[in-house]
Amino acid sequence: MKYGIYYAYWEKQWGADYLKYIEKAARLGFDILEISCAGLRDMTDAQLEMLRNCKDDKGIRLTGGYGPKACENLASADSSVVNNALEFWKQTFSALKKLDVVSVGGGLYSYWPADYSTGVDKRGDFERSVRNMRTLAAMAQDYGITLCMESLNRHEGYLINTARECVEYVKAVDAPNVKVMLDTYHMNMEEDSFREAILTAGSLLGHFHAGENNRRLPGQGNIIPWREIGSALREIDYKDDIVMEPFVIHGGQVGQDIRIWRDLLEDASEERLDRDAAESVQFLRDTFEGEPTPIEGLEHIGLFVSDLARSVRFYTEVLGFKVIWNNVNPSPEGDIAVTFVQNADCILELIRFPNPEKRGAGCFDHVALRVDDLDSVMKKLPHQGVKFEEGSYTEAPQVFEKGSRWVFLCGPDNERIELNERFM
């Protein structure tokens, strides 16, 4: 999968200097910049060439997004409106071709945002839209462009609100370059299950927008189930684009159209926006397709004991272990005595608490796994839903003749796991 961001994250007006945002997207770690189709047909060949050369130089791919105006509505019963829409797209496709854009997404089947003051003819609009989309799809095919139909929430559109409705529409059009497009912001309002919606789209899914329930960047909220979404995308073997479409700044035409009435960040400076975007794209990469954390091996197993001296004698005299390290850690309840014993590659940590009867002497306490870079692991795992035990990070400069540092987390059944890095 490749990851992108919509240029208007930084903008208050729909028109923008895309050259600036191509450079920014590349610097912040994105693969894609999504731009608006509005105004592209008015650009000169020289301007389009400059834009194409810039994105090539920075290694950025462009995708297109658009919410058609009412006068560009393919579902309209007015033939002049439909003809105007087809003419708009014919000129726009020519510009997109010069920018090497091969994917355009949005509510292309109708117009945006919907005006509900005049009533809705959903079935009639659906049939007209399907018929006219076949014509538009044939035009787009000549330019090598795929059209992705975005499922919108009920407040912004009525023709397609769910993945199931989107699949029905795409199958009705029956064109190879017409695909489904899902957006987590809209899905959060309309779908019963993110996973089921993605599975419903299946191989027809051609584009995916990512954002929190309130339009903030992915990873800045607690409602959207990103791990579930990533798992579902992998389940359908989705290999196409993931584009963030955040809107966090109020004011201007963008804020007016998106209905952003306040800054969603305490600090809406460009520097802060850049930093948040860079962190968010890394969050998505780690969550959607992050590699498993490399474990170098078993470090040791921790056991509760009631009598440390007695346990040490047993493991050394009966089972042939050797004592390799002793330590006493103070705690509010009293000193915690620890002895590490080793036999071949097997290391046990024998732990004697002040009140062993409360802990369950003879019970397993934790398993310690060895990692190479604890800092990177601690940065990555929270993106995959892992929570570390509060205050558990510890550094000990002299353990086993080396330094060691570790942190604790819990597995799915609350089993304690220690991640341990040794260093010279």
The CA-CA-CA angle for residues 92, 29, 249, to 5°, reads 65
Closest Cα partner for 233 from 269, 207, 267? Answer: 207
Pick the catalytic residue: 11, 34, 150, 299?
150
Half-sphere exposure of 337 (CA within 13 A, CB side): 11
Residue of 343, 337, 348, 351 lying closest to 299 (CA atoms): 348
Identify whether 415 is a catalytic site residue.
no
CA distance 303 to 414: 16
Please list the alpha-helical segments (H only) found in 61-104: 79-98
Q: Which of 11, 34, 245, 418 is catalytic?
A: 245
Rounded Cα–Cα distance for residues 7 and 14 (Å): 9
CB 311 within 8 A of CB 326: no
What is each CA distance from 316 to 190, 191, 313, 328, 401, in whole angstroms? 64, 61, 5, 20, 20
Strand partners, 388: 409
Residue pair 383/371 in contact by the 8 Å Cβ criterion: no
- Alpha-carbon gap, residue 272 to 264, rounded angstroms: 12
Q: Say which amino acid occupies 360.
A: G
DSSP class per residue in 228-293: HHHHHHHHTT--SEEEE------SHHHHHHHT--S-SSS---HHHHHHHHHHHHHHHHHHHHPPPP
**Known catalytic membership, residue 34:** no
Q: Which residues are catalytic?
A: 150, 245
